[in-house]
Amino acid sequence: MRGLWSDMSGNKIVFINHWALNIGGAEHSLLDILEEMAGRTEVHLVTAETGPLTERAETMGIKCHIIHCSGSLADVKRGNLLLTALLHWRGMISFSVYVHKVCRLIKDIQPGLVHANVPKSHITLFLLRMLGYKGKCCFHIRELFKFRTIPYLLYDVLFPAADATAIAISDSVKNSLPGRIRMKTIVIYNGVKIPSGKTPHAKTGTRFIYLGRIVPWKGCHHLIEAFALVRKRCAAGCRLSIVGGTFYWNESYRRQLEALIALRGLGDACVMRPHTQTPYDVLMEHDVLCLPSDREPFGRVAAEAQACGLPVIAFDNGGTREVVLNGVTGFLIPYGDIESFASAMERFVNEESLAASMGTAGRERAGVLFNKDIQIPKIADYLVDACQDYH
């Protein structure tokens, strides 16, 4: 088997990202990396579907390879891996066929390094190693792992012993990894664009926003409950926009949120809006980002909001505590404490200058720690060095 992989080239890198139709934080990060890499080496992108990701990659001159994977793999969730794999066995068979096709493609390309961007891509790369791929591997890890859960143990067993490294998007992600993976992991924060500045607006009440996927662990139900308390206690006007799509999830949670808004009598002040392709424009229309997620691995939208001059209110867990400086660029609230979350929102309603001062501090912090003009070249340098180190 080793002989089939003997001509791998140090000047070729393959990126694997299963999804292409809907662009989330992982895909935005990948597009930034691809754009930086396009002028440095020969780059290939492998996906299981066509969509905005492949379309934008092709405009950069990236060679895209679409290997379709039928079945309901979107329903196979990391949190209940074995059960959902059994329930969606047809999707797992399709995934097996997909992996073997990717294997043949990799043999044709003979790259010096393969980069896996999301969990299903990680599994693909694990299996490629088992099928004989001997080149360098880089796993971009964007998830938090719970100790000794099935995903934790699976990664611990399957992570290659040789020629493999990992990039974690936060210290929280790195610290959640099994020890032998953690030793091979470097932390490089996601990079975000730093716009020229936030345009002041006429004061018509504080405008809160949630921006992200509409899925249960993002906690929008907590945010609606907190906003209901704010509306009861504050005479000054305030509004809440919940903006995002229900990607790779069913619509029931969104309907639950709509029902909760109606139940709390917030129809005149809280609106749900669809996914936007221009998140910065939407952020600029608001004053404060609310991020009620449970164990956010990094909190890309928090970095984006700070780059736009918005302070952030978030639950104090996961990587968010590395993005938001409590009391300086926003407020970090103990997870699940709806009363304290509402109190933090009230401060922005009642203290007119607070959003501006914290927003300025957040913008300065984002420019230093999360500026994509700094962070993305770091990732590209790391990948190029790893590829060229291949023997």
**pLDDT recorded at residue 123:** 92
- Read off the pLDDT of residues 68-97 as tens digits, 9 standing for 90 and up: 987 554 544 545 544 555 555 566 788 889
Work out the pLDDT band at 2, boundaries 50, 70, 90.
very low
- Read off the pLDDT of residues 90-149 as tens digits, 9 standing for 90 and up: 667 888 899 999 999 999 999 999 999 999 999 999 999 999 998 999 999 999 999 999
CA dist., res. 225 & res. 215, Å (int): 16
Smallest Cα–Cα separation from 224: which of 58, 341, 134, 381? 341
Contact 18, 364 (CB under 8 A): no
Share of the chain above pLDDT 70, in %: 88
pLDDT average, residue stretch 163-187:
97
CB atoms within 10 A of CB 266: 17
Contact 111, 138 (CB under 8 A): no
CA dist., res. 271 & res. 302, Å (int): 20
Secondary structure (H, E, C), the chain: CHHHHCCCEEEEEEEECCCCCCCCHHHHHHHHHHHHHCCCCEEEEEECCCCHHHHHHHHCCCEEEECCCCCCHHHCCHHHHHHHHHHCHHHHHHHHHHHHHHHHHHHHHCEEEEEECCHHHHHHHHHHHHCCCCCEEEEEECCCCCCCCHHHHHHHHHCCCCCEEEEECCHHHHHCCCHHHHCCEEECCCCECCCCCCCCCCCCCEEEEEECCCCHHHCHHHHHHHHHHHHHHCCCCEEEEEECCCCCCCCHHHHHHHHHHHHCCCCCCEEEECCCCCHHHHHHCCCEEEECCCCCCCCHHHHHHHHCCCCEEEECCCCHHHHCCECCCEEEECCCCHHHHHHHHHHHHHCCCHHHHHHHHHHHHHHHHCEHHHHHHHHHHHHHHHHHCCC
CA dist., res. 355 & res. 284, Å (int): 13
CB atoms within 10 A of CB 5: 16
| Phi, psi (rounded to 5 degrees) for 72 | -100, 55
**pLDDT recorded at residue 391:** 45
**pLDDT recorded at residue 205:** 87
- Read off the pLDDT of residues 313-324 as tens digits, 9 standing for 90 and up: 999 999 999 999
Report the largest interatomic distance among the alpha carbons of the chain, rounded to a whole angstrom: 74
Contact 166, 386 (CB under 8 A): no
Domains and CATH numbers, the chain: 2-191+371-388 (3.40.50.2000), 206-369 (3.40.50.2000)
CA dist., res. 47 & res. 102, Å (int): 9
CA dist., res. 335 & res. 292, Å (int): 8
pLDDT average, residue stretch 247-275:
93
Contact 10, 388 (CB under 8 A): yes
**pLDDT recorded at residue 265:** 96
- Read off the pLDDT of residues 197-212 as tens digits, 9 standing for 90 and up: 766 665 678 999 999 9
**pLDDT recorded at residue 143:** 95
pLDDT average, residue stretch 31-45:
95
Q: Is the pLDDT of residue 43 over 50?
A: yes
**pLDDT recorded at residue 22:** 87
Both tokens of 298, joined, read: 């990094």
**pLDDT recorded at residue 3:** 43
Match 């990717």 to its residue by tokens. Answer: 102
CA dist., res. 144 & res. 173, Å (int): 5
CA dist., res. 192 & res. 280, Å (int): 10
**pLDDT recorded at residue 23:** 87
Average pLDDT, the chain: 90
**pLDDT recorded at residue 196:** 83
**pLDDT recorded at residue 62:** 96
Q: Is the pLDDT of residue 301 over 50?
A: yes
- Read off the pLDDT of residues 264-282 as tens digits, 9 standing for 90 and up: 999 999 999 999 989 999 9
**pLDDT recorded at residue 71:** 55
